[in-house]
Amino acid sequence: MGERLDSPGAPGRTQAAPLILYDGGCGLCHRFVRFVAARDPRAVHRFASLESATARALLARHALPLGLDSAVLCDERGLHVESTAALRILRRLRFPWPLAAVLLLVPRAWRDRAYRMVARRRLRWFGSADGCPLLDPRLRKRIVDE
């Protein structure tokens, strides 16, 4: 079973909702959070910036570097990074996005190479996120450690 996270504000309580960690300073990452939230029919995903206390604790618990340059998904199956995280996130969205999961059949090394190519250029292509974007109140409820 995957890592269970302490719920914010309620020590001892746990949650099993998928948690997406994203780069809070990246324009592409902010767009991805809004993209996922708009296509998540049951609103199951929660979000936290990689710079948040929640992310730092989770990464430390799994011995991952704090300067990780990847989206991270923590779900019932564990912690996932890079292309695996992105494809597992898409798998939970409404149709047609779950079809992208077929790419999990591609060798991870190839998928991650493509993921890293975009990751290296994302700030140049999509810019940085200046401050916290204005969020829909429904999305704001799903942000951990704002």
Q: Look up the domain containing 11 and give its range.
A: 5-144
Please state the rounded mean pLDDT for residues 83-98. Answer: 95
Note the pLDDT tens digit of each residue in 3-23. 334 333 333 333 468 999 998
Report the pLDDT value the prediction gives residue 100, as an integer from 0 to 100.
95
Q: How confident is the model at residue 142 (pLDDT cuts 50, 70, 90)?
A: confident
Total structural domains in the chain?
Answer: 1
Q: Which residue has better confidence, 10 or 131?
A: 131
Is residue 143 within 8 A of residue 51, CB to CB? The reply is no
